[in-house]
Structure 1
Amino acid sequence: MTAATLRRRLPRRYPILLTIMLALAATCHSLASEAGSQRLSESALQRLKSEAGDISRLHTLVVAENGEIVLERTYAGPGSDQPANIKSLSKTVLAALVGAAIEQGVIEGVDQPVVDLLGPLVPNDIDPRVGDITVGHLLSLQAGLERTSGANYGAWVASDNWVANALRRPFVDHPGGRMLYSTGSSHLLSAALTQASGDSTLSLARQLLGDPLNIAIPAWLRDPQGIFFGGNDMQLSPLALIQVGELYRLDGVIDGTRVLPEGWVEASWTPRGTSAWTSDGYGYGWFVTRLGGEQAYYGRGYGGQALYVIPERALTVAITSDPMPPSPGGQFQQRLHALVETLLAPE
């Protein structure tokens, strides 16, 4: 809230109160900015540009510091303001949408059983333990059901009913057990959002994320029943991704409007499982790691799509890369980590 806004809202007979409130506001602003007091140097940005120029698959790189774009480069592919297929980075955006839906009362909370939300989409012949799977289990990829990703992905997306196919999978762990990376779990969230709201996931995303963040959310792939793909193939520009990252960096509040529930960011960035490939923690749609000695949170997608938030440095970084096979896999993700670390290196 600006000083001018305070003056408009306060009666003129309260000059002392106004002075106190302005002083408190200035103090709060100072404290909020303290995390970003270690400003990026020009040499750090030059190092980043040099390193990024050596990565042939890179399409775009955008860096924001304290909410301001300090680097915006397009090397290939669509520009930074154009939509790109963010692949499984969609899981991070979908998690934000679930949080926004909880804030608006579309979903009760993370402990709500998903079968209650899916209603008629639930087949009659499923394992009774499916009733124990909650919204939170799907967000943290701890449903316990056999994965639909990896070697199982092709058969799953070739099925005539993605929701039923995911729910009929055998249990390989209990709900809330180990992290099982499965796009089917994320797709169940999209179906749950559609059933609970009576609206499409696309329409809900535009209302609850697109409007408050002032970003465009184009349509993307749908399943055979017309449900928008949950957890893959969303189309967002790198600049739009920066806004999603900033929403989390600012604890779910944008321009004074609470978009995500209070405490959602902390809950999302609390590790609940561990990636079998990277050993990084995983919360609600976000991986948790340390980069350059700093706590870092990131979402990632096939082929080198990534979104990083480093709160203590007030940094948000969006990266898009060539999504076409063959994927460079985990080694390329480590190269993106190293790219971000060039910003964090001491001078």
Structure 2
Amino acid sequence: MTLAPLPAQPAATPWPTQGWPLGDLPAGVDLAPLLDQAFGPEAAAHLGETQAVVIIQGGRLIFERYGQGRGPDDTCHSWSKAKSITQALVGLLVGDGKLDIHAPADVPEWRGAGDPRGAITLDQLLRMSSGLKFTEIYLPDQGSDVIEMLFGKGKDDVAGFAAAFPLEHAPNSFWSYSSGTSNIASRCAARALGASGADFEAFMRARLFEPLGMTSPLPRFDEAGTFIGSSFCFATPRDFARFGLLYLRDGVWEGRRLLPEGWVDYARTPTPQNPDGLDDPYGAHWWLGIAGPGSFSANGYDGQFTVVVPDLDMVIVRHGATPMDLKQNLPVWIRALADAFR
């Protein structure tokens, strides 16, 4: 398939490493009706609580608005947006020659003779096609493996907890969204680097956050020293926008390639999914298409989004707390926000 071209940083626009260069909304763009749905009197019934909306276009901050009592320096929960950060960390180690995503993943629990899980690759983990049994349900009374992993008996060793599950399908034969596989991938990255806990956090900061000027991220680690790459990296909306801009710019920042060539394309190349068609399109730890063809996004449970829109040279960040019964409104709202610029 042909992927949408990724635009380069305009020559006259500084990179936002020190601070975001400012711009204006294009003439004729009217966001008022959509902002009413997010922040107005009817917002609670439409999207729940919206804490922040940040829009970057052409590398410039052209719009931001925050919920009551919030501002640009307040950190927000990533939830599953952390999965896309995990994908970037894996990419850095691929670029260093320390990881091969098509080789069997380095998972000690799968090394037993004849263990069919030993064939699972890091690529299959990133594409949610490992075949591992894992119940990604967010209601504790419905046998939720993800809640047990993050807050129950798995919380001290999230990757070990997830790696203990058996195969439910042959690897690469069935797509199933799983926070467990993200934490296994995160531990694979740590093992490849030979660092965990504070040492792995130092790697995250030196190789990813600091080059982008991201000063706010607060990644969370379990007692085993694994970055909980499925769910926990707090940051400000502006810093999440910097991360989105890195992907919009094909992994290049200030003229220097940070992510290996082709890694962003790998993230946004569709993964074969199940024929029932009930799931949104997915790439490799990034969702696809929420803001129109060619767009891709880091999505989080409570309605957290970092959306990369190549055809508009745009990054949209939305943070909030949207109840389950309103979740279906968010993709519609984000698509409408992007379409307002088309």
Bin for the TM-score computed over the shorter chain: 0.7 to 0.9
CA–CA distance in structure 2, aligned partners of residues 142 and 330 of structure 1? 28
Amino acid at match of 1:72: E
Give the equivalent residue in structure 1 for 2:314.
315
CA–CA distance in structure 2, aligned partners of residues 58 and 258 of structure 1? 34
CA–CA distance in structure 2, aligned partners of residues 91 and 28 of structure 1? 25
Amino acid at match of 1:313: L
CA–CA distance in structure 1, aligned partners of residues 61 and 317 of structure 2? 11
RMSD of aligned residue pairs (Cα, Å)? 2.8
Task: Percent identity, please.
Answer: 26
Give the equivalent residue in structure 1 for 2:14.
none
Q: Greater shift after overlay, 127-136 or 150-159?
A: 150-159
**Mapping of 1:273-292 within 5 angstroms?**
273-274=272-273, 279-289=279-289, 291=291
**Mapping of 1:1-347 within 5 angstroms?**
40-54=26-40, 55-56=43-44, 57-76=49-68, 78-107=70-99, 109-115=100-106, 118=107, 121-122=108-109, 128-150=115-137, 151-157=144-150, 158-159=153-154, 161-200=157-196, 201-216=200-215, 218-274=217-273, 279-289=279-289, 291=291, 294-322=293-321, 328-329=323-324, 331-345=326-340
Alignment check: 8 A CA contact 1:62 1:80 kept: no
Determine which structure has more spread, i.e. the larger CA radius of gyration: 1
Alignment check: 8 A CA contact 2:186 2:228 kept: yes
CA–CA distance in structure 2, aligned partners of residues 307 and 40 of structure 1? 21
SS at match of 2:295: strand
Alignment check: 8 A CA contact 2:303 2:327 kept: yes
Amino acid at match of 1:49: L
Deviation at residue 29 of structure 1 after TM alignment: 6.2
Residues 137 and 217 of structure 1: CA distance in aligned 2, closer, same or farther (over 3 Å): farther
Aligned length: 304
Residues 337 and 145 of structure 1: CA distance in aligned 2, closer, same or farther (over 3 Å): same
Residues 237-272 of structure 1, C-alpha deviations (whole Å, 9 max, x = no match) = 111111111111111111101011111111111111
CA–CA distance in structure 2, aligned partners of residues 219 and 46 of structure 1? 33
Alignment check: 8 A CA contact 2:209 2:217 kept: no
SS at match of 1:262: coil
Alignment check: 8 A CA contact 1:60 1:76 kept: no
Alignment check: 8 A CA contact 1:52 1:339 kept: no
TM-score, structure 2 as length reference: 0.79
Alignment check: 8 A CA contact 1:307 1:317 kept: yes
Give the equivalent residue in structure 1 for 2:17.
none
Deviation at residue 78 of structure 1 after TM alignment: 4.4
Deviation at residue 334 of structure 1 after TM alignment: 3.4
TM-score, structure 1 as length reference: 0.78
Residues 77 and 235 of structure 1: CA distance in aligned 2, closer, same or farther (over 3 Å): farther
Q: Which runs of 5+ in 1 are unaligned?
A: 1-26, 31-38
Residues 28 and 314 of structure 1: CA distance in aligned 2, closer, same or farther (over 3 Å): closer
Question: Which has the larger helix fraction?
Answer: 1
Deviating runs (4+, > 4 A) in structure 1?
27-30, 123-127, 275-278
Residues 11-46 of structure 1, C-alpha deviations (whole Å, 9 max, x = no match) = xxxxxxxxxxxxxxxx9969xxxxxxxx84353344
Deviation at residue 290 of structure 1 after TM alignment: 5.3
Residues 162-197 of structure 1, C-alpha deviations (whole Å, 9 max, x = no match) = 323322212111222222111110001111111111
CA–CA distance in structure 2, aligned partners of residues 91 and 271 of structure 1? 16
Q: Which runs of 5+ in 2 are unaligned?
A: 1-7, 12-24, 138-143
CA–CA distance in structure 2, aligned partners of residues 278 and 153 of structure 1? 20
